[in-house]
Amino acid sequence: MAQGRGGLRQGLIVGGTAFLVLFLVAAFYWRADILQAALDPKKPFQTYAPPTAPNYAKASSWALIPDRPQRWSNKDLPADVFFVHPTTFDGGEEWNGPIDDAKSDRLLTRVMLPNYAGPFYRVGRLFAPRYRQASLYSQLTNRDDAREARRFAYGDVRASFQYYMDHYNQGRPFLIVGVEQGGLLAARLVRDEVAPSRARVRQVAGVYLIDTVVPEADYGQGAALSACTARDQARCVVAWQSVLEADPSAGLNRLDRAQVWLGDQLEDLGTRPALCVNPLVGAKTKIKIEARANIGAANVTGLEWGARPAFLARQVDTQCQGDGLVVSKPRSPSLTPSGGWADRLKEPAFNLFYADLEADAQARVVSLLNLPDFPKPAPPIERSADQGQTPAHRVR
């Protein structure tokens, strides 16, 4: 009898262990679906009450803004940079994130700004609006609600740019930089607010749509702002979507899910070719660019804002193939994608083209202003509304 109870107990243990293993395997296999379901707001956008709108007259509505945005002198850098940040808000109950969400703001100030706005710190005065960004979940579904969330986010970006032009720009040369979903919004901003105005087009040193899918046909010959064909060219567009050989799923998934603006609606890219301008040479080309052209990658996560990172040169080969920029595996282990499934759908916590983008942007400013070389004044001090979570962006 005792032997029978022992056998039953052992059977229960073996069965329970097998069930647990199967459960863990299933959870791992369907982890994307599980997380996607958890991030679903589970309410239609039409009945959704969005967070409070930013007031761009207040510094707290800007992640980066100069201390004296309405004033400058010959000691300042010669251009402005309007920067639209990538996704930092996962989702949950909200289709669009509030600008004071603590978790997404930490990711913004600790990772995204240093790695992606940082290359432009020595190019011009930085203006980076906080906006009610569409959640990561909105990129994972083709529901109309998700498209509405992205369109809603564009309203904030447009309002911030209009405020910048009306109050801070005052005729200065400028660049527009957008990253990932911020690039999608920046692309429409260029189309709606810059391209129709000859005066504004003349002010544009360059447009950077980083890890952003846009139709190649929108930037062809004859466009107000066409694709860049050389690094010393101004008034042109640099755009690409990275596909890392070390982690191809993220880039390929973005290409598969890519939506582009058709009027004020978002539609699938479909069979339309995407624009690819190789950031290692600043030109639209299908030629493979060897790693020796890579001036410097950097992992700037957590560093003090404005600190010049130690560059890692000759890290990657690149080549525009199909609709993406195929990027070889970086040589340095510090340039390896990490984190969970949701983290890998966002921009990585490093920038493979940090020094390349800095040099590229400076060259375009030099070309626009017809300067012999890029001036070397001390870069302006940008401030943010962060209340000290990250010293790099503390309000001064």
pLDDT of residue 384: 56
59-81 average pLDDT score:
94
Examine residue 25 and state whether it is found in any structural domain, yes or no. Answer: no
Q: Pick from 68, 175, 74: which is nearest to 377 by CA? A: 74
Q: Does residue 61 register a pLDDT over 60?
A: yes
pLDDT one-digit tens code per residue, 114-123: 999 999 999 9
pLDDT of residue 53: 97
pLDDT of residue 392: 34
Examine residue 365 and state whether it is found in any structural domain, yes or no. Answer: yes
The stretches of the chain forming alpha helices (DSSP H) are 2-29, 31-39, 102-107, 144-164, 181-189, 198-203, 248-257, 341-345, 354-369
Examine residue 334 and state whether it is found in any structural domain, yes or no. Answer: yes
pLDDT of residue 256: 78
- Under a CB-based contact definition with an 8 Å cutoff, are residues 244 and 250 in contact? yes
SS3 content of the chain, % helix, strand, coil (to 5): 40, 15, 45
Examine residue 4 and state whether it is found in any structural domain, yes or no. Answer: no
User: How many domains is the chain built from?
Assistant: 1
Examine residue 266 and state whether it is found in any structural domain, yes or no. Answer: yes
| Domain assignment of residue 158, given as a range | 41-393
Q: Does residue 133 register a pLDDT over 80?
A: yes
Examine residue 19 and state whether it is found in any structural domain, yes or no. Answer: no
142-148 average pLDDT score:
92
Examine residue 197 and state whether it is found in any structural domain, yes or no. Answer: yes
Average pLDDT, the chain: 87
172-192 average pLDDT score:
98
pLDDT of residue 381: 65
pLDDT of residue 11: 56
Examine residue 71 and state whether it is found in any structural domain, yes or no. Answer: yes
111-137 average pLDDT score:
97
